[in-house]
Amino acid sequence: MSRIGKLPVDLPAGVTITVGDQEITVAGPKGTLQVPVQQNTSTKVENNQVTVTRANDEPKSRAWHGLQRALLNNAVIGVTKGFEKKLEINGVGFRLTGGPKEIEMALGFSHPVKYQAPDGIELKTEKMTITVSGIDKQQVGQVAAEIRALKKPEPYKGKGIKYVDEYIIRKAGKAGKK
């Protein structure tokens, strides 16, 4: 039995789950998410808990079992609390401005870099920190990765965009002549 798949997902007050043939709809106070139904799995909602079971013990079915439960758990957390990732901009002359849907950054290029957030994602800026928030965990992570890719941190001075909790391994500079 899958260690993750066998755990039930608790439904907080205000969250409803509708199980369909192709997708499972999770609705809560922050919004609605659709989770695709994985092969050889079945989902049951009873007593404010969601349980996922699998049809057989094949390796693929075991993998889909854990994946289905994890996707449902992430959807329940997303519609109740939401997800967020924080990015930090380091570098002399780098600037950050913007609002909830679009940010503009000066990253050392000859032009300012603009990033438009997709639907369902909100961007907050404070000094040199960007907070990406939304209800879909995958989408929040994807947007944070796209923003980071605009100017990856370099290993000599650490200039660039990095996650707040990310550690950049530094390299030594040039060695002096003897």
Q: Within 19-170, where are the H helices?
A: 59-80, 137-149
What pLDDT score does 145 carry?
A: 95
Q: Is 26 helix (H, G, I), strand (E, B) or coil?
A: strand
Where do we find the tokens 């990856």?
152
Mean pLDDT, consecutive 10-residue stretches, the chain (178 aa), reads 82 90 92 90 90 89 90 94 94 89 92 93 93 94 95 92 92 80
Which residue segments constitute the domains of the chain, with CATH numbers given? 9-80 (3.90.930.12), 83-163 (3.90.930.12)
Give the CA angle between residues 153, 131, 122 to the nearest 5°: 125
What pLDDT score does 100 carry?
A: 87
What pLDDT score does 1 carry?
A: 56
Measured on CA atoms in the order 27, 77, 163, 100, is the torsion positive or negative? positive
What pLDDT score does 2 carry?
A: 66
What pLDDT score does 144 carry?
A: 95
